[in-house]
Chain A
Amino acid sequence: MAGIKIKYTKTERARQKKILKVSERMLPLFEAMEKSLMATINTIAERIEQIREEIEKNRKAAEPWTAVMSDSWVNIDEFISVNKIVTKTIDVAGVRVQQFVKVDFNVMPINDNTPLWVDDAIELMQVQLQLLAEIECLKEQIELLEEELLDVRARVKLFENRRIPNAKLAIRKIGQKLQDDERLTIATAKVVKTSKQKEGSL
């Protein structure tokens, strides 16, 4: 409040009361939004962890046969690559984010000369790449939600620490000042009246 010039008027008091009313109504909404964003971020983080565990599980399941991927006859890189990651826009906790839909792969046709393990490797790689792409999308969602969370937290602090206390203080000060002014006016009026009465009696 320091440094802010208050207009000690009834209009200003009414304005500050309105600010207080709106702020007290908005604060719980922002607090609820903060909680919702935090909960959503935690849920997404848990999902990322689940996907990571799934990737690790798949990797371990394939461990007994990954040696075959160094087959001198095959360059598996040539068989599979990511064309694009398809996403769709959705609303999560009031924030527009990209949700993972699927990965579009470039898969080279397999001919009869190709060893059988290539089919299994392509399947495994597709699964792992899909899961990794989903993680990337979820990470981006978290980034956007965290940005929004920072913004909401700033608003909560603004209402809690500045707007509401400032409005309350302003209302109190204006009230005191208006009361003082009223007293002064009455006192002055009384003094004037008394003086006039004295002049009249003389």
Chain B
Amino acid sequence: MVYLMTSLPSLSLGEAPPITIDEFNDDAKRQLSSRHFKALQSVDIQKLDAKVGVKSISSLLNSIKEDLSEVRTAKAQNRQPKPERMPNSLLRGNPMERERNILQWQWEELQDIEAGKTFTLTEVLVYKLKLQLVERLYSFDEIKGAEVLASVVNPGKNKEGK
């Protein structure tokens, strides 16, 4: 665990990921016990339902899930959302600003979780989650995004008379 954490590059939100998730997983597989590696595999910020052994992380993922659900419910009900953990101020702005705010908030929450947990499994799990956030934020690209929109928005071809 100590060797793994000291060998990993430091992460910074908003910059290019210095390592890919696959590379990280390869390193972790080599250097962690199978029990720890299994725990690492189970943690994934894209899978908020997954069971995670570390309570603080599990609680964060669960809060993210519930708060996103509350935001959607509130929108459907045309009312102000009342997320429990996520500050309401994050939801201001356009969808891009909102995602950035949420990523920043998740990053800060993860930093709070890992504080004082040097060379523990928690730090390894948090590193993976933070790497996922860095990779995700780095994937936001104006040109590619416009291409994605253009690829979906083109005339439908199936036509049927009423």
Interface residues of A (CB under 8 A from B): 59, 62-73, 76-77, 80, 82-89, 98, 101, 103, 110, 112-117, 119-121, 124-125, 128-129, 132-133, 135-136
Contacts and interface: CB of A to CB of B under 8 A. Distances in A.
Interface in B84-122: 94-99, 102
A15 B58 CA distance: 97
A136 B65 CA distance: 41
Q: Please report whether the interface of chain B is mostly helix, strand, loop or mixed according to DSSP.
A: helix
A113 B154 contact: no
Given A68-B95, A73-B139, 7 more contacts: A63-B146, A70-B148, A86-B162, A88-B162, A98-B161, A112-B48, A132-B155
14 contacts: A59-B149, A66-B146, A67-B144, A68-B95, A69-B148, A70-B148, A71-B140, A84-B158, A85-B156, A101-B162, A116-B95, A117-B95, A117-B96, A121-B95
Contact of B161 (A63, A65, A87, A135): A87
A68 B141 CA distance: 7
Contact of A132 (B136, B141, B148, B156): B156
B148 A112 contact: no
Taking residues whose C-beta sits less than 8 angstroms from the other chain, chain B's interface range is 35 or more
Nearest to B65: A112
Contacts of A120: 95
A113 B162 contact: no
User: Of residues B48, B97, B145, B158, which shows the largest number of chain A Cβ atoms within 10 Å of its Cβ?
Assistant: B145
Contacts of A62: 149
A116 B99 contact: yes
B27 interface: no
Nearest to A83: B158
Nearest to B97: A65
Contacts of B65: 112-113
